[in-house]
Amino acid sequence: MLALTNDDHANLAVAMTVRLLEPNVPVLARAMTRDTAANMASFGTDHIINPFAHFGERLALAISAPANYRLLTWLEALPGTQLEPIATPPRGAWVVCGYGRFGREVVRAFHEHRLEVTVIDPTASVYPDLKVVRGTGTEAEPLAAAGIHSAVGIVAGTDDDVNNLSIVVTARELNPTLYTIVRQNLQANQPLFDAFDADMTMVSSQLIASECLAVVRTPLLQPFLEFARHKDADWADALLERLLIALGDLSPAVWSVTLNISEAPAMYRLLMHGGHAKVGDLVRNPARRDEQLEIVPLYLQRGEGAFDLPADDFELQPGDQVLFAGRGSARDRQQALLRNEKVRDYVVTGHDPSTGWLWRRLRPRRSIPQRDARVP
């Protein structure tokens, strides 16, 4: 069940109703505040999507661990997205316009790294613990009062797209070197935001859609991304370099395989009957076992345990779940060794079945020289 309306109370009601009536049905629910998210979590909602908190966490990661942020952003992108250099949010004084649900998460991220923040908001007197200037930020006066001339960056985070674009355009006129972060509320305004070309744009609908699809289609991706967030920069750089060498600079498809009777029947039967197979076997070319498909194993989950970047000689067991990154064509070819026992035997043991329609289709055709018709 997906509860993704723009009403937190409605999403909370759906999540609670499903939990009471059908407790075995997984629930993914959108929550726009931390209080609602905590309420959902209290009765066991399976996955809670808070786009503002998600963006704040990624912003903090971009500041503290740019290599990890670049890796995670690339793996979450649509397959085929070009890997581009990412400008790291600079350290220094920031101006945040709008202190609503989004602005609070951004300020939380900046305070986590002890960065100086000045907030511009119409209700300045309500926030005595913050340095606040009254206004919206669409005019030069409140921006100047907030220290825009000496700031390193600005966040336009109101719930009005026109105001947000006005804020960053005015701010850049006052300080052309600013790092700009803009909140986009409506998808229809995409051409305007594309024309401005901010350093970072937050679109809550896109964050919700991408996270929801990732959870539904590739359940292992989120645990791996959470794991990768906490690794050091050397680990992230090494994995990104490995992916670039193996797959090129276009973002890969990401998928998971469970070694069970439904997803990998041939491999499952081998393991259940005492056979042996390794992680490296899952990425062999089913037509030429000495060659490797354009696939990189990222993560393996076994019960409560998890292993990152499992080596080729890692022994598999029934029920293992494995997360891969690779080309879509390689994923399709991998299906043969997961489902066909003759292909599986060739890949794992080197035994060439040499018969069967599927095998003949998989093997590359050999060119046979044609005899000259004039030769008797």
Whole-Å CA distances, 368 to 222, 356, 365, 371: 49, 21, 9, 9
Whole-Å CA distances, 115 to 31, 230, 330: 27, 21, 45
pLDDT exceeds cutoff 50 at 375: no
| Contact between 102 and 183 (Cβ < 8 Å) | yes
| Contact between 260 and 318 (Cβ < 8 Å) | yes
What digits encode the pLDDT tens for the residues 289-298? 999 999 999 9
Cα–Cα–Cα angle for 231, 237, 238, rounded to 5 degrees: 95
State the DSSP H helix or E strand holding residue 65, giving kind and residue range, or none if neither. none
Provide the mean pLDDT of the chain.
90
How do the domains of the chain map onto residue ranges? 1-49, 53-210, 252-362
How remote is the C-alpha of 365 from its chain's centroid? Answer: 39
- Could you tell me which CATH number the domain at 53-210 has? 3.40.50.720
Kindly report the pTM of this predicted structure: 0.82
* Segment among 67-81, 188-202, 256-270, 310-324 with least mean pLDDT: 67-81
Query: Within 13 Å, how many C-alpha atoms sit on residue 369's CB side?
Result: 2
Whole-Å CA distances, 86 to 81, 199, 243, 295: 14, 8, 17, 25
Whole-Å CA distances, 156 to 11, 32, 164, 289, 371: 27, 18, 5, 54, 74
**Residue 61: band (very low, low, confident or very high) from pLDDT cuts 50, 70, 90:** very high
What digits encode the pLDDT tens for the residues 134-191? 999 999 999 999 999 999 999 999 999 999 999 999 999 999 999 999 999 998 999 9
Distance between CA 252 and CA 79 in Å, rounded? 5
Q: Does domain 252-362 have CATH number 3.30.70.1450?
A: yes
Q: Which of 65, 119, 67, 127 lies closest to 95 in space, CA to CA?
A: 119
Rg of the Cα atoms in the chain: 26
Measured between its terminal Cα atoms, the distance across the chain in Å is 73
Amino acid making up residue 263: E
**Residue 123: band (very low, low, confident or very high) from pLDDT cuts 50, 70, 90:** confident
Q: Which residues pair with 97 in a beta bridge?
A: 120, 156
Comparing 53-210 with 252-362, is the CATH topology the same? Answer: no
pLDDT exceeds cutoff 70 at 363: no
| Contact between 162 and 145 (Cβ < 8 Å) | no
